Structure 1
Amino acid sequence: MSADSEREVALRIGLAARTIEGIDIREFVGALATYLGVPLTPEKLAKITVDDLHKLLKGDDAHDEDADRLGLKQAVRYLWGQDIADDGAPQAEAYCEGEMPGSLRVAVASNSGEQLDGHFGSCARFLIYQVSPTAMKLVGSRATRGADAEEDRNAARAALLEGCQLLYVQSIGGPAAAKVVRAGVHPIKVPAGGAGREVLIRLQQALQAPPPWLARVMGVEAQSLARFGAEEEAS
């Protein structure tokens, strides 16, 4: 099987696993391999049905819940190679580099619209904002589907944050956070999530303080930035 086919298989399985609550990706791959035979190929994945996936994951005697099967239907579409385009991303606003002096570039982990509703390791995209004390623009959206096909998913996701100073997420594990920090980005957890722009309004207000989190950009007293992150997580 070609490298392109291997990446396609990994992408389809990764997206499918994201839609199934509580699934372990390694167990999912093993179950598919047992059911379809190895090597897994795009052609084999395209033959699986919702009933097949239901029996594979839930067993023959599992209760048939409508909500559960809706999730499995979406998973099957991903396994077939459908619905992979990042159609849910909001439209970016026009922006020219340098037009917002004193601004930060901020990533927001998101699954829908402009919501901060994503976990670092499973969000569908990172929304990229340029934020100054008086203005805010959505300047881009970076889909994570390609990163999920890489061997080191966390490192690939961290690489998507290039150019950003801050990352807002609902949650992020320790090893993943370390890779984000090594990429030069400071992760800030907001477990409650919410509308991305409303969360960033708090950042705008703090930028007028003067901004302790600019410490990372200016190279002074990084502890002040960490303190801001702790305060955000506690709010």
Structure 2
Amino acid sequence: MTTTALTEDMALRIGLAARALPDTTPARLMAVLADCIGLPPNAEKLDTLSIKQLRNGASGELADCDNSVLKTALAYLKGTASTDSLPPPAPQSPLTNAEGSDPEGVIRVAIASNNGELLDGHFGSCERFLVYQVSLDQVRLIDCREIDDRQADDDKNGYRAGLIADCQLLYVVSVGGPAAAKVVKHNIHPIKVPDGGAAPALIAELQQIIGDKTPPWLAKIMGQPAESRVRFTAEALEE
């Protein structure tokens, strides 16, 4: 799916609408939208979109969908559907190599979330962590880890950090100093995004960083050889 000129809000709308449609990926939905209203989609164009157009777009790509399903998807696209208390998306099986470990070049990213596939949680109060496997060309949601602070044994921050101990990166809206220390103790790099946003859009940005010039700290996390990390540093100094 091309994400050129898509805002985080628009990426979220398309992602939620695709999830509301059976057997539909964001890329498939984008093909329908391209035929109906042209690319890139925006709020003004989507306001003119009808259920009939959605059903008939891209040679009837969504022709088999019920009207009620199309109505829900259209509400997400137009931004009129509530995103409060959205359930987390269904995870997929993790990618593994022959030894059963994560393949080379794949990192695990945790997202502090309260609703759907959003980064909208503070480390100390979020309801769950969404865990993704991320590489340059793949993204896979592999777990939705619900949080029960009653299991914390008087160390809520340590308990929460332990839930994502297999991850290398953590995205949060905010995290306090003592909590961040517990996260770092597990060799997890915390990244604060105060405005939050759609998890897929944030991960797409991460993939862009990986694809362009991986910063040394991320290259180390991804297991890239030392000579590559030195090269990245040298290039950064030259700019």
TM-score normalised over the length of structure 1? 0.54
Deviation by residue 1:144-199 (Cα, 9 ceiling, x = unmatched): 11466431000000001111000000000000001100011000000010100101
Structure 2 counterpart of 1:91: 90
Q: Which amino acid aligns with 2:111?
A: V
Structure 1 pair 201/100, CA: closer, same or farther in 2 (3 Å)? farther
Q: Conserved in 1, the CA contact under 8 Å of 2:183 and 2:190?
A: yes
Match of 1:218, SS state, is coil
Select the residue among 121, 135, 140 that pairs with 2:138: 135
Deviation by residue 1:59-85 (Cα, 9 ceiling, x = unmatched): xxxxxxxxxxxxxxxxxxxxxxxxxxx
Q: Conserved in 2, the CA contact under 8 Å of 1:125 and 1:141?
A: yes
Shift of 1:218: 3.3
Count of aligned pairs between the two proteins: 139
Superposed, 1:171-210 pairs within 5 Å as: 171-210=174-213
Match of 1:108, SS state, is strand
Give percent identity, aligned residues only. 45
Quote the Cα distance in structure 2 between the aligned partners of 1:151 and 1:125: 19
Superposed, 1:8-23 pairs within 5 Å as: none
Query: Gaps spanning 5+ residues in structure 2: where?
Result: 1-84, 234-239
Quote the Cα distance in structure 2 between the aligned partners of 1:146 and 1:170: 19
Quote the Cα distance in structure 1 between the aligned partners of 2:200 and 2:162: 23
Match of 2:170, SS state, is strand
Quote the Cα distance in structure 1 between the aligned partners of 2:91 and 2:124: 23
TM-score normalised over the length of structure 2? 0.53
Structure 1 counterpart of 2:8: none
Structure 2 counterpart of 1:214: 219
Superposed, 1:46-125 pairs within 5 Å as: 88-98=87-97, 100-125=103-128
Q: Conserved in 1, the CA contact under 8 Å of 2:86 and 2:116?
A: no
Quote the Cα distance in structure 2 between the aligned partners of 1:140 and 1:117: 17
Structure 1 pair 116/148, CA: closer, same or farther in 2 (3 Å)? farther
Q: Conserved in 1, the CA contact under 8 Å of 2:184 and 2:190?
A: yes
Structure 2 counterpart of 1:47: none
Quote the Cα distance in structure 2 between the aligned partners of 1:88 and 1:146: 19
RMSD of aligned residue pairs (Cα, Å): 2.7
Deviation by residue 1:189-228 (Cα, 9 ceiling, x = unmatched): 0001010010110000111123221223438679x99xxx
Q: Conserved in 2, the CA contact under 8 Å of 1:100 and 1:132?
A: no
Structure 2 counterpart of 1:70: none
